[in-house]
Amino acid sequence: MSITPQFALLGLDQQELTKLAVEKQQPSFRGKQLADAIYRQRVEKLADVTTLPQSLRESLTGEGGEIGWPTILKRFVSQDGTIRYLIGFADGESVETVWMPEGDGGEAGDGTDAYEDRAERHSHEWHRATICVSSQVGCAVNCQFCLTAKLGVQRNLTAGEIAGQVLVVLRDQDVDIATERINLVFMGMGEPFLNYDNFMKAVRLLVSEVGIPESRMTVSTAGIVPRIEDFGREAIRPKLAISLNGSNDEVRESVMPLNRKWDLERLLGAARAFPLRNRERLTFEYVLLDGVNDAPENAREVVRLLNGIRAKVNLIALNPGPDIPYETPRPERVNKFQQILLDADIPVFIRRPRGRDIYAACGQLKRTEELVSLS
């Protein structure tokens, strides 16, 4: 039986761990030892951090301290190699985290090209992998094509719970971060920009303590305009993706009610003002819904909207789900939409659906326990 810690060390950065050690009359280098044990060696129990004196370990556990790892409750393995993890936290809540060996093509054209590392030497069967990370239990944004929206929002995740998802998956997959290529996408359950401070702290932990470069991370927002502005000012930040999903306010509002608060003019204004780095592009995600937003005229509107923005577009043909009132467009419609953007010199990629059979694909994360076969 796992014991609920009164305070978790996972989520504290090296400075905070050092402060904790010094408060316990320990030399400050104990902070670095703790950080290394938690984030680099992925030690699960404080008692097993053998670099620390036993007295310090006992003193911390005596006060109810533990590392506080999340628990893998279930694994659903897709025929395409994708794994949907159900990950539980100390209070009994859970989220989903998705492991995608070889990614889903969404990285293409954004400076971390999908297949550029084929020649690297690896001990695993995969050449690179992407982890899709959740930021909240459920989501309040209510995108009409998304199963997570059906849960509502239960609570925000802490920085330790966000970074902890990555750590448990890295350990489960036995990843060596120094030699193997991992991309992170913050596109799982929840809207990261509605849990901004915890999300950003998790990013800093993953960059500084775990050792994953920020250039291999992408965060997707439904369009929380004030936080897009804050995000542009961050010294350490992932790349930005914006869920567009509509080519005019009427269509976007019907698909994403959030558009009433921050309409396309404000959203694209923030996108235009966003300070991109050298060679960086802003990604626009566009879920194609048959007969709703996937007509050639919609594609031409997207071209006009993105005029003047260094952008790339990821197209996602809807991943179906129960009670989702939309259909998946036929491949010809998806290809036609793509061609119109290509003709306007906009880099555009079609994301491969990953793990649809286990409800792991985009918009499908809702902690489904049973496995329903989808045609």
* Residues acting as catalytic residues: 96, 362
Hey, which residues does 218 pair with through a beta bridge? 185, 239
Q: How many residues bind ligand SF4 (CB under 6 A)?
A: 12
User: Rounded to 5 degrees, what are φ and ψ at 37?
Assistant: -65, -45
Residue 320 or residue 363: which is nearer to ligand SF4 going by CB? 363
- Taking CB under 6 A as the binding criterion, the range among 80-88, 90-98, 141-149, 313-321 that sits at the site for ligand SF4 is 141-149
12 counts as binding ligand SF4 under rule CB under 6 A: no
- Choose, by CB under 6 A, the member of 8, 17, 35, 139 that binds ligand SF4: 139
148 counts as binding ligand SF4 under rule CB under 6 A: yes
Provide, rounded to whole angstroms, the least separation between the CB of residue 139 and ligand SF4.
3
- Choose, by CB under 6 A, the member of 83, 114, 129, 146 that binds ligand SF4: 146
- Taking CB under 6 A as the binding criterion, the range among 144-152, 207-215, 270-278, 336-344 that sits at the site for ligand SF4 is 144-152
- 3-state SS, residue 102: coil
Tokens of 7: 């305070």
Tokens of 36: 């290394």
159 counts as binding ligand SF4 under rule CB under 6 A: no
Residues 212-241 that bind ligand SF4 (CB under 6 A): 222
- Choose, by CB under 6 A, the member of 34, 141, 228, 306 that binds ligand SF4: 141
153 counts as binding ligand SF4 under rule CB under 6 A: no
Query: What is the spatial distance between Cα 214 and Cα 353, in angstroms, rounded to a whole number?
Result: 24
245 counts as binding ligand SF4 under rule CB under 6 A: no
318 counts as binding ligand SF4 under rule CB under 6 A: no
Whether the Cβ atoms of residue 329 and residue 318 lie closer than 8 Å to each other: yes
192 counts as binding ligand SF4 under rule CB under 6 A: no
Query: What is the spatial distance between Cα 61 and Cα 66, in angstroms, rounded to a whole number?
Result: 6
Residue 207 or residue 228: which is nearer to ligand SF4 going by CB? 228
Query: What is the spatial distance between Cα 173 and Cα 131, in angstroms, rounded to a whole number?
Result: 11
Provide, rounded to whole angstroms, the least separation between the CB of residue 133 and ligand SF4.
12
DSSP line for 47-70: GG-TTS-HHHHHHHHHTTEE----
- Choose, by CB under 6 A, the member of 189, 292, 313, 315 that binds ligand SF4: 189
363 counts as binding ligand SF4 under rule CB under 6 A: yes
- Taking CB under 6 A as the binding criterion, the range among 1-9, 145-153, 296-304, 346-354 that sits at the site for ligand SF4 is 145-153
- The stretches of the chain forming alpha helices (DSSP H) are 14-23, 29-35, 54-62, 159-172, 196-204, 225-232, 249-255, 264-273, 296-305, 331-343
- For residue 22, how far is the Cα from the chain centroid? 34
316 counts as binding ligand SF4 under rule CB under 6 A: no
- Choose, by CB under 6 A, the member of 149, 167, 202, 251 that binds ligand SF4: 149
Measured CA distances, 37 to 34, 177, 194, 261, 275 (Å): 5, 14, 31, 44, 36
Provide, rounded to whole angstroms, the least separation between the CB of residue 21 and ligand SF4.
38
- 3-state SS, residue 232: helix
Hey, which residues does 220 pair with through a beta bridge? 241
Judged by the rule CB under 6 A, the positions of this chain that interact with ligand SF4 are: 139, 141-143, 146, 148-149, 189-191, 222, 363
